[in-house]
Amino acid sequence: MSNDDDLILKVRHLSKTFDEHVALRDVSFDLKRADTLGVVGESGSGKTTLARCILRAIDPDRGGTVDFNSDQDGWVSLSSLRHKELVPLRKEMQMVFQDPYSSLNPRMTVRQIIEEPLVIHDEGNSAERLERVREMLDLVQLSQDSLTRYPHAFSGGQRQRIGIARALILNPNLVVCDETVSALDVSVQAQIINLLEDLQKTLHLTYIFVAHDLAVVRHICNNVLVMHNGVVVERGDVDYVFDHPQRNYTRLLLSAIPSPDPDVRMAPEDRTILEEPEPVANGYGLVEGPVWDDDYGLMFSDVIFGGVYSVNDSKEVEPVFEHRRGIGGMALHAEGGLVVSGKNVSLKRFGETKSILLLDRDPDNGNVGYNDLTTDTAGRIYVGSLGSSPVFDDGLEPRAGNLYVIDLDGRSRVVAEDVQLTNGLGFSPNGRVLYHSDSRRSQIYRYEVARNGDLKPREVFHEFENGAPDGLAVAEDGSIWVANAGAGGVAVIHPDGNQRAFISIPVPMCTSVCFGGAGLRTLYIVSGSNGVDGDRRGGVYRYEAPVSGLPVPVAKVEPIANLSS
Amino acid sequence: MMSDNILEIRNLGVRFRTDTGITNALNDVNFDVPRGKVTAIVGESGSGKSVTANCIMRLLQPPGEIVTGSIQFNPSRTESFDVVAIGERDPRIYDLHGGLISMVFQEPMTALSPVYRVGNQVAEAILCHRDVSKDAAMVEAHDMLRRVGIPDIDTRIQMYPFEFSGGMRQRVVIAMALVCNPEVLICDEPTTALDVTIQAEILTLIKDLQEELSNSIIFITHDIGIVAQIADYVVVMYQGRVLEIGTVRQVLKDPLHPYTKGLLAAIPGNVPKNVRLSTIATAVGDADITTPFPLKEVGEGRLVSLP
Ligand SMILES: Nc1ncnc2c1ncn2[C@@H]1O[C@H](COP(=O)(O)OP(=O)(O)OP(=O)(O)O)[C@@H](O)[C@H]1O
Ligand SMILES: Nc1ncnc2c1ncn2[C@@H]1O[C@H](COP(=O)(O)OP(=O)(O)OP(=O)(O)O)[C@@H](O)[C@H]1O
Ligand SMILES: [Mg+2]
Ligand SMILES: [Mg+2]
């Protein structure tokens, strides 16, 4: 394979198990000659284990391969050679360690330390070796009178230079730096980083650079592997990965770096929110109105192609109702059935075809219908109307909608006005605050709720920079889980208004969420296809949340009229 | 009237007399610690940060000795006094260690005993300093552990430190440091031994607790990122001297001393990729950073050691 010539390393399916513990799981990557590959991840994520398996300082599990493009023999399989056969190749691969204090033998002089690899590989006579050591001292900018001194006489940065000189004296091609600059303060760190970069240019070195300081990695690496629990969770061009992290874990790491700019506030994400959502149903147009029922499982509607479906734990989907298109919101009703919103708000009892009208189209408002709804603990329904909706592209002047409450006696009233594009609704745990998404304005409103169900004037609770807020659900701890339409996931907002985490799904159009499953610990996330005809990228995902959702809202509103279906 | 500064350090000089000679670890150190704020002391290894903290706590051990200066301490609970001037047996030393000032170190196990349960250790810290019943102390310990974010406290309170992760241990140490509601909390590199993600949690915790309890904090670190995130005021030290003092924005956004400029230029995140990092030496260039010019005031609370 001729295009392999510019590669120096090919790693395939590398794993390492210590006793029962899997420290490294199925890692594969290519490394180009003269590149610098960063390996990042928190403590225990497997960075050192990966480095040691590559260099065969430890033996990886069977099945994984490491191929190395050596000067001496061309491509060789490091993972299958016997230890004796590896010895000559070791000259081409070296490691520089983290701790400048414990990695140097305190009883050896600097000359002995730097010279030792030559002695081990039986290279040159004493005079030639001394000459090489002197060259190395110049290279790492240590004075020649260091030769006869012992490590304790050097500062941390100087000791790290001694370690580098020792690693480079055999003219390696591949150098693994395991946290080489982590223990040093910025001034010394800068000297060592510059030195490594200079040496790379003059000696055409390839580096694998293990570090937990992402700013350092970004500075000196071209590519990066992000490791978590022994798995490479993300990799690629370092700038791209850091600017567009796809995985929650990468985001978590990036959010944890304290910025040296006091105006850029550190907002570490919640580390419990790490697992990826799992797809449970797909092939729908625009999925909306998710609602959990202990018997039916998760119910959801397809706004574009119509119908209400349920999906159970085994991912089996059943139709619940044949229904027209355009159901935007659903909630359980105490009498057994679903309150659905669309052109109007109505109650559909399970097993019946008739609908019972709860709230008709509001003629004064010229609205095209209603969207998300929720209930308070008393059982009143809160539902927003779509003015003239930009979503349906109906050619009308965009016109604001209202927020209505349907009281227990079936009478309704407007409780808030001027909602540009009404979406998710949810109450705080004590029921005294109502959160409400306005997708057009990219804002979530916060209303204080009066005893009779009226709302005090709203305030803006959170504003989105990317995408818009869509459906939302509130957890027991008061956190607000909001589908972030356009941004491809769910934002977790704390009651203080700050975003604490983000859960990605594989499609950009995330439309709504609800809690369900045992203990309401599963977050169901639904998605849509941007309304493009025939596009069926809408689906349902589930995700094990670190908190339980609030109890599923149940409407107790008295129906006032009958509608034929 | 109570001074706005909880600590006022003047002309502090410390030297170490060893076999190999005399090290002047601190030379004419002057700075104030404003009440209810976070003051960061930043500087490279060996610049005198920890020695300064030890002087404030009266924990400096021989061969180190304070040769000049004063540390005026203005607690709200008791009379002001000069920490340097009081004698070894003065009861105020006991007050100092007994809750007026607490310290959190880099390595949490230096403050924890491996053989006692976590809950008992926190309760013990309360009993040492205050006259409350054992049960009351245990209730308070529980409450403080909850505040520092220990999950599942009823189980955890019965566990030993080795059963905790590094981040959890540091939370326990912070809980112990806070149970006596100290007027000053000194944190000497409390996150250096921790992972970035855990570090972020601990920094957030310290900041949140400070806002809640409004105690005065001295935060020692060589990480400018941490300074930027946690400090209100910054003291830059170099070779046992104070080079620059100001608010965090003044010092990090508009550094006046060439050494501070060098320190900021050496941070990888502050430099475009493929551009060589400046080391402090290159950034400082010909500027004179070794002559000990006295601090001069160049603005309100803004001091710099320049001719
Ligand atoms: N020799 C060993 N025996 C048993 N377990 C090991 C051994 N070496 C590593 N492990 C385990 O493997 C996992 C990965 O460890 P590794 O040292 O690779 O992590 P790391 O990412 O380098 O962490 P750090 O940033 O702390 O250096 C850890 O859970 C560790 O405890
Ligand atoms: N026990 C000691 N004996 C001799 N010299 C000491 C002793 N302790 C500290 N020093 C000297 O005092 C000076 C200041 O040390 P200090 O520990 O305050 O540095 P620091 O700024 O805290 O550094 P670091 O960031 O490495 O903790 C150093 O020059 C150090 O060598
Ligand atoms: Mg490691
Ligand atoms: Mg120190």
Query: CA A34, A37, A38: angle at the middle one, nearest 5?
Result: 145
Asked if B279 lies within 8 A of A194 by C-beta distance, the reply is yes
Identify whether the C-beta of residue B179 lies closer than 8 Å to the C-beta of residue B122: yes
Average model confidence (pLDDT) across chain B: 89
Name the least confident of A157-166, A409-418, A422-431, A511-520: A157-166
The chain B residue lying nearest A262, using CA atoms, is: B228
Confidence band, pLDDT 50/70/90 cuts, at residue B260 = very high
B267 touches chain A (CB under 8 A): yes
Q: How far is A80 from chain B (nearest CA, A)?
A: 35
The pLDDT score that the predictor gives to residue A2 is 42
Distance from CA of A189 to the nearest CA of B (A): 8
How confident is the model over A23-54, as pLDDT tens digits? 898 898 999 999 999 999 887 889 999 999 99
- Interchain CB contacts (distance < 8 Å): A and B: 118
- The residue ranking higher by pLDDT, A88 or A532, is A88
Query: Does A263 contact chain B (CB < 8 Å)?
Result: yes
Q: What is the share, in percent, of chain B residues with pLDDT greater than 70?
A: 99
Query: What is the average pLDDT across A61-90?
Result: 91
User: Taking the mean position of all CA atoms in its chain, how far away is CA B218?
Assistant: 4
pLDDT at A423 over 90: yes
Helix (H) or strand (E) holding B70: strand B64-73
Tell me which of A20, A25, A45 to substitute to probe ligand 1's pocket, judged by most ligand atoms within 8 Å of the beta carbon: A45
pLDDT in the model for residue A457: 95
A246 CA to middle of ligand 3, Å? 24
For chain B, say whether A418 makes contact (Cβ under 8 Å): no
> A211, A261, A218: which is closest to A242 by C-alpha?
A218
Are A266 and B203 inside 8 Å of each other by CB?
Answer: yes
Q: Do B264 and A260 touch (CB under 8 A)?
A: yes
For residue B63, say if its preceding peptide bond is cis, omega within 30 degrees of 0.
yes
B266 chain-A contacts, CB cut-off 8 A? 186-187, 189-190
Which of B38, B107, B197 is the best residue to mutate to test the A interface, defined by the most A CB atoms within 10 Å of its own CB? B197
* pLDDT value for B152: 78
Could you tell me the pTM of the whole model? 0.70
Q: Which of these ranges, A139-143, A300-304, A440-444, A525-529, has the smallest mean pLDDT?
A: A139-143
- Assess whether the C-beta atom of A49 lies below 6 angstroms from ligand 1: yes
**What pLDDT was estimated at residue A562?**
45
- Hey, are the CB atoms on B200 and A194 less than 8 Å from each other? no
**Is a pLDDT exceeding 80 seen at residue B195?**
no
Give yes or no for A259 touching B (CB within 8 A): yes
Cα-to-centroid distance, A163 and ligand 1 (Å): 22
Q: Determine if ligand 1 sits within 6 Å of the CB of residue A17.
A: no
Q: Identify the top-confidence range among B95-109, B140-154, B243-257.
A: B243-257
- Of the candidates B201, B223, B269, which has its C-beta nearest A268's C-beta? B201
Please report the atom of ligand 2 found closest to the CA of residue B18.
4
Q: Give ligand 2 pocket residues (Cβ under 6 A).
A: B 16, 18, 23, 25, 43, 45-51, 63-64, 222
Confidence at residue A393, expressed as pLDDT on a 0 to 100 scale = 54
- Asked if B222 reaches chain A (Cβ–Cβ under 8 Å), the answer is yes
Stretch A176-194: mean pLDDT, rounded?
Answer: 81
Q: Indicate which ligand has the atom closest to the C-alpha of A184.
A: 2
With cut-offs at 50, 70 and 90, classify the pLDDT of residue A403: very high
Q: Assess contact for B150 and B171: CB atoms under 8 A.
A: yes
Sheet strands side by side (includes A554-555): A554-555, A329-333, A337-341, A345-349, A355-359, A561-563
Domains of chain B plus CATH, in order, are 5-100+182-304 (3.40.50.300)
Ligand 1: atom nearest CA of A49 is 18
Average pLDDT over residues B125-129: 85
Q: Provide mean pLDDT across the span A410-437.
A: 93
Calculate how far, in angstroms, residue A192's C-alpha sits from the geometric centre of ligand 4: 21
Q: Which residues of A touch B273 (CB under 8 A)?
A: 218-219, 239
pLDDT given for residue A186 in this prediction: 79
- A106 class by beta-carbon count within 10 Å (0-12 exposed, 13-18 middle, 19+ buried): exposed
User: What would the two tokens of residue A434 be?
Assistant: 């109502």
Percent over 90 (pLDDT), chain A? 46
Nearest ligand for residue B196 CA: 1
B1 residue type, one letter: M
Q: Answer whether A21 contacts ligand 1 (Cβ < 6 A).
A: yes
CB-CB under 8 Å, A190 with B278: yes
A362/chain B closest Cα distance in angstroms:
48
Spatial distance between the Cα atoms of A183 and A160, rounded to a whole number of angstroms:
10
- In the block, tokens 């404030």 appear at B56
Going by alpha carbons, the residue nearest to atom 12 of ligand 2 is B25
Chain B neighbors of A43, CB-CB under 8 A: 195
Sign for the CA dihedral angle at A219, A221, A226, A229 comes to: negative
Question: Could you identify the residue written with the tokens 């000696």?
Answer: A203
Question: How many other β-carbons are positioned within 10 Å of the β-carbon of residue B207?
Answer: 17
| pLDDT tops 80 at residue A389 | no
Chain B residues whose CB is inside 8 A of the A253 CB are 196-197
Atom of ligand 2 nearest to the CA of B48: 18
ipTM of the complex: 0.85
State whether B280 and A190 contact (CB < 8 Å). Answer: yes
Let me know: does B35 contact B61? Beta carbons within 8 Å: no
Mean pLDDT to the nearest integer, A151-173: 86
